[in-house]
Structure formats: structure tokens, C-alpha cells
């Protein structure tokens, strides 16, 4: 399979994603896969098709949700932060059940909107928790949010896992999982950044046989896709236009060369 390289022009991949090579699930089927989500729903939006396909092959899939997701509706009286966290975690479990996940997700419950970055005093604690989780799971493949995603929690999540892997490498030099990154907010042209850092390859995963299942899983996130929480006028909601990007018969992924 010939991979297309792109480093600077983000318009190339997002305006013309069908130019990227299309791969089958066989290229990612392995004994243990970890999907890391900055917020409850990112795992389904970015990797729902991959999760469903991998589970259909009997692959062990683990999901690590980093933040508690409570910033989506901060002014809701009906759903104050503790209730919203429970709601969003329940939605995650429902979505993953639809996708064929038998194991529950792991929730780190870091503060939404404040996932620790390099200057944060709580950074090391978060890194240690990620490293301990990785030591238990030891996935052969890790799906991560795209390192330059416009959302700071997504970039911080990538950094947490990246740093945890460096620490783990010192303990286990032979451990070298395959890292696959998925975009979320780069699909929004107004927020899209520039890929101009280091050379990556872009490719698409064929999810045509499970795309309807993925859409059902996305719909399980009613707090993010409907007016379920109707007492916060500035609350977050995924727009139909944004959701169209995750309803394709393929998913877009990025890897370092």
C-alpha cells in the first residue's frame, strides 16, 4: 500500500481526504489495542469504526478517557458537574457497548478544559497515572488524538501519553507500540491548524461495513448531539455539519514515517 506524505498543507488531507489510501482492518488487527480519548465521545467520533471492526475480529480493545467532560454545559442547573460526569460516562459505556466492547472504559477524570500541560503542577501525577495504565494493558497499538488538534485538551492528552511512553521505555526498553493519531477538530475549517512540523503519513480505514453501527454509537451521546441539556444556552453541541465528518465510510488516521 502506497502512503501519501504530507507535512504542511492541511487542506490537502481534509479538503480531499479520498485521495489518501484506503486500508482494511487487517492492517491494524492485533492482540491488544488502546484508544485514548481526551473527552467522552472522542473515541467514538474518531475511532468508532476501528473499535467495531477490531472487536468483530476478537481483538482486545481498551479505552482510556482522560477528562471528565464536565465543561460542555458548565451553567446547567439540571446537570451540575458531578451529574454531568456520570451522564457522560454512562453515554460512553452505552456507545462502546454498541460498538461491541465487552470491557468497560477507564476514566481518569481529569478536569475538562484543564488536562495538564508541561507547565502544570499536576502534570507528573497525570503522567504517572497514564504510565501505570499502560503498564497494565501494554497495547500493541495506541490510537491517540492528533498532536496538533486545535483543542488544547487533545494536544495535552497526546503529550501525556507520549511522555508516559518515554518513562515506560526506560523500564521496558523493548516496548514500542505502534502509534496512530486521529483528528477531531481539524475537521472544522475555522479551527484547522497547520501540519508543518514533521513528516507524517495519512491513510483511511475502510469502515463501510460498520458505519451505521458507528452512527448509532455517536447518537448514544445525547448530551452532545441533542437538546437533552436545555438549561445552558451556551452549552456545547456537535452540529450536524461537524457530525457529517464522522459519518463517512472511512476514518482518517495519521502516523509518523
> What is the Cα–Cα distance from 247 to 257, expressed in whole angstroms?
28
CATH number of the CATH domain containing 127: 3.40.50.10320
Instruction: Identify whether the C-beta of residue 52 lies closer than 8 Å to the C-beta of residue 210.
Output: yes
Cell for 64? 482510556
Tally of CB atoms within 10 A around 59: 19
E-assigned strands of 98-139?
106-110
- The C-alpha R_g of the chain, in whole angstroms, comes to 17
> What is the Cα–Cα distance from 100 to 140, expressed in whole angstroms?
20
What pLDDT shows up at residue 189?
80
* Strand 22-23 with 200-206, pairing: parallel
Identify the domain containing residue 169 by its residue range. 4-256
> What is the Cα–Cα distance from 96 to 48, expressed in whole angstroms?
8
Nearest to 116 by CA among 148, 82, 163, 64: 163
The number of domains in the chain is 1
Chunked mean pLDDT (size 10), the chain, 257 residues = 36 72 97 97 98 97 98 97 98 98 92 92 95 97 96 97 96 96 90 67 96 98 97 95 96 93
Q: Please name the residues in contact with 97: beta carbons below 8 A apart, sequence gap of 6 or more.
A: none
Q: Please report which helix (H) or strand (E) contains residue 67, including its range.
A: strand 60-67
pTM higher than the cut 0.85: yes
> What is the Cα–Cα distance from 184 to 164, expressed in whole angstroms?
22
Please write the tens of the pLDDT for every residue from 159-168: 999 999 999 9
> What is the Cα–Cα distance from 205 to 163, expressed in whole angstroms?
27
Angle (CA) 236-242-247 rounded to 5° is: 125
Amino acid at each position: 500500500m502506497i502512503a501519501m506524505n504530507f507535512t504542511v498543507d492541511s487542506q490537502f488531507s481534509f479538503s480531499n481526504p479520498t485521495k489518501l489510501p484506503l486500508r482494511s482492518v487487517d492492517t491494524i488487527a492485533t492482540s491488544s489495542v488502546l484508544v485514548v480519548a481526551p473527552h467522552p465521545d472522542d473515541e467514538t467520533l474518531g475511532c468508532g469504526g476501528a473499535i467495531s471492526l477490531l472487536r468483530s475480529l476478537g481483538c482486545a480493545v481498551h479505552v482510556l478517557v482522560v477528562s471528565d467532560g464536565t465543561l460542555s454545559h458548565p451553567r446547567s442547573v439540571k446537570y451540575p458537574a458531578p451529574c454531568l460526569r456520570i451522564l457522560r460516562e454512562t453515554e460512553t459505556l452505552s456507545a462502546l457497548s454498541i460498538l461491541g466492547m465487552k470491557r468497560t472504559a477507564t476514566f481518569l477524570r481529569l478536569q475538562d478544559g484543564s488536562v495538564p500541560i508541561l507547565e502544570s503542577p499536576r502534570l507528573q501525577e497525570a503522567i504517572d497515572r497514564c504510565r501505570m495504565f499502560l503498564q497494565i494493558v501494554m497495547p500493541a497499538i495506541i490510537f491517540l488524538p492528533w498532536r496538533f488538534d486545535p483543542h488544547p485538551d487533545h494536544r495535552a492528552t497526546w503529550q501525556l501519553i507520549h511522555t508516559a511512553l518515554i518513562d515506560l521505555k526506560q523500564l521496558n526498553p523493548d516496548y514500542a507500540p505502534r502509534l496512530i493519531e486521529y483528528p477531531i477538530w481539524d475537521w472544522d475549517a475555522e479551527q484547522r491548524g497547520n501540519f508543518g512540523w514533521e513528516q507524517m503519513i495519512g491513510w483511511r480505514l475502510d469502515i463501510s461495513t460498520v458505519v451505521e453501527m458507528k452512527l448509532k454509537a455517536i447518537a448514544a451521546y445525547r448530551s452532545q448531539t441533542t437538546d437533552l441539556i436545555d438549561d445552558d444556552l451556551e452549552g456545547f453541541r456537535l452540529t450536524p455539519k461537524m457530525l457529517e465528518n464522522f459519518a463517512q465510510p472511512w476514518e482518517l488516521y495519521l502516523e509518523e514515517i
